[in-house]
Amino acid sequence: MRNHNNRFQNNNFRQKRGAPKPLDERLFINRAKPPEQEVEPQTSITFNDFAISDKLKRNIADHNYQRPTPIQEKAIPVLLEGKDVIGIANTGTGKTAAFLIPLVHKITMDRNQRVLIVTPTRELAMQIADELHVFTRGMDIDGALCIGGANLQRQEKKLHHKPHFVIGTPGRLKDLIKRRTLDLMLFQNIVLDEVDRMVDIGFIRDIQYIVSLLPKKRQSLFFSATITDKERSILDTFVSDPVSISVKKQATSENIEQNIVKVRHGEQKIEKLHDLLISDGFDKVLIFGRTKWGIEKLTKALIQRGFKAAAIHGNKSQGQRQRALEQFKQNQVSILLATDVASRGIDIENVTHVINFDQPATYEDYVHRIGRTGRADKRGMALTFVE
């Protein structure tokens, strides 16, 4: 039972110290497409129409996939031809399946093929590994998850058996390479997922190092919801005559209602947030903050008020982060608080609201944050606090 009478008073939740310059608040306001304007996808293509193995088709059907999304419809045939691809699509539109399905089929045709998938976050790597497991059920195709915060020796043992798929984060992959456990010359395929993050200042050298160790003859696949001209110029050095596929109509999903929450001088953000969370319809809420300590403090305050909440951020162990995500996915907690570690690629069903308690540093970060709601043709709401 929520103890809504416990009004925690603390002005420190403003978190202004070291904050980036605020974005134009008009960027956070956008009406969702009215329901009456929604139409069924025009495609008549089904997954049975793709030139992929029958067993893979059955696994796709068991996963309740019926018709491909636009990015899947356009990307899968090109990838099956062995071409390099740069794919751009809104979050929640099925980019993971768009590259996993053709790569799984490729391995069924040639068991010597191996795939390296690199992601910016542990959570995204785990999600891809889970989806790979669904698509490869009963096909004798194995994968290794190589992420920080997990047992290194166990990962090395898994790599010793030369799995068809290796899915990991840059730091752990570099560790395994330097320990001579991971030989990238054995991989003929590479996927960079959420590629805009992968090539920013924090990752570009790691990615250049990893790509330099791959065979020159390979298939390279890069997917994201946002790619700038600068990032595209970097990608061009990694690929050979790539096919660019973009199915984005606008930066954010048409299914997301976007608005701001004004915080006047003298008002407390925590009180505004409390009033929102007890409102009708706020059933499954993802709250983003700027700093690890700020998110931890806010989580404890909400729990004190009687809300069922959990947090994930960089100071949490991998086990703690994974448990928090599972609790949120299984509706054991109704509120998940996070730094931007959770803004990329995490697919959590039925998130009703995304709340930016602290504004994101860039509009690209905003796009990825709010993309956690309004997924798979469902409607959602994004609210951003503006002081």
- Which residues pair with residue 356 across a beta bridge? 288, 384
Give a yes or no: residue 4 inside a domain.
no
Give a yes or no: residue 41 inside a domain.
no
The CA distance from 95 to 85, in Å, is 12
Question: Is residue 19 over pLDDT 80?
Answer: no
Q: What is the pLDDT of residue 250?
A: 56
Total tally of structural domains belonging to the chain: 2
Q: Is 167 found in the same domain as 88?
A: yes
Q: Is 219 found in the same domain as 83?
A: yes
CA 382 to chain centre: 17
Q: Is 223 found in the same domain as 352?
A: no
The CA distance from 168 to 193, in Å, is 11
Task: Label residue 133 by pLDDT band (50, 70, 90).
Answer: very high
Give a yes or no: residue 38 inside a domain.
no
Q: Is 53 found in the same domain as 25?
A: no
Summarize pLDDT for 62-114 with one digit per residue, the tens.
988 888 989 999 999 999 999 999 988 776 778 899 999 999 999 999 999 99
Residues with Cβ within 8 Å of 159's Cβ and at least 6 positions away in sequence, in order, are 144, 146, 166, 176, 181, 182
Summarize pLDDT for 237-294 with one digit per residue, the tens.
888 889 999 886 555 667 888 999 999 877 889 999 999 999 999 999 999 999 999 9
Give a yes or no: residue 3 inside a domain.
no
Task: Label residue 143 by pLDDT band (50, 70, 90).
Answer: very high
At residue 285's C-alpha, the angle toward residues 280 and 291, to 5°, is: 135
Question: Is residue 4 over pLDDT 60?
Answer: no
By C-alpha distance, which of 351, 277, 13, 20 is closest to 369?
A: 351
Q: What is the pLDDT of residue 203?
A: 78
Give a yes or no: residue 181 inside a domain.
yes
Task: Label residue 39 by pLDDT band (50, 70, 90).
Answer: very low
Give a yes or no: residue 5 inside a domain.
no
Q: What is the pLDDT of residue 8?
A: 38
The residue count of the chain comes to 387
Q: What is the pLDDT of residue 286?
A: 94
By C-alpha distance, which of 237, 180, 183, 181 is closest to 207?
A: 237
Q: Is the dihedral of CA 294, 27, 246, 37 positive or negative?
A: positive
Query: What CATH number is attached to the domain comprising 165?
Result: 3.40.50.300
CA 312 to chain centre: 14
The mean predicted confidence, pLDDT, of the chain is: 85
Q: Is 99 found in the same domain as 143?
A: yes
Q: What is the pLDDT of residue 44?
A: 75
Give the DSSP letter string of 155-187.
Answer: HHHHHHT--SEEEE-HHHHHHHHHTT---GGG-
Structure-model confidence comparison of residues 128 and 4, the more confident one: 128
Give a yes or no: residue 67 inside a domain.
yes
Structure-model confidence comparison of residues 313 and 336, the more confident one: 336
Domain boundary, last residue among 222, 246, 270: 246
Give a yes or no: residue 1 inside a domain.
no
Domain boundary, last residue among 212, 246, 280: 246
The CA distance from 15 to 261, in Å, is 16
Write out the two tokens for 293.
Answer: 């300590």
Q: Is 221 found in the same domain as 95?
A: yes
The stretch 110-126 carries a mean pLDDT of 93
Q: Is 27 found in the same domain as 57?
A: no
Range of the domain at 125: 47-246
Summarize pLDDT for 164-219 with one digit per residue, the tens.
999 999 999 999 999 999 999 999 999 999 877 776 656 788 888 999 999 999 99
The stretch 343-369 carries a mean pLDDT of 83
Q: Is 210 found in the same domain as 162?
A: yes
Q: Is 188 found in the same domain as 221?
A: yes
Q: Is 201 found in the same domain as 337?
A: no
Q: What is the pLDDT of residue 14?
A: 41
Q: Is 278 found in the same domain as 208?
A: no
Structure-model confidence comparison of residues 64 and 43, the more confident one: 64
The CA distance from 53 to 7, in Å, is 59
Q: Is 24 found in the same domain as 54?
A: no
Structure-model confidence comparison of residues 145 and 67, the more confident one: 145
Domain boundary, last residue among 246, 273, 301: 246
Q: What is the pLDDT of residue 228?
A: 76
H helix or E strand, kind and range, residue 261: strand 256-262
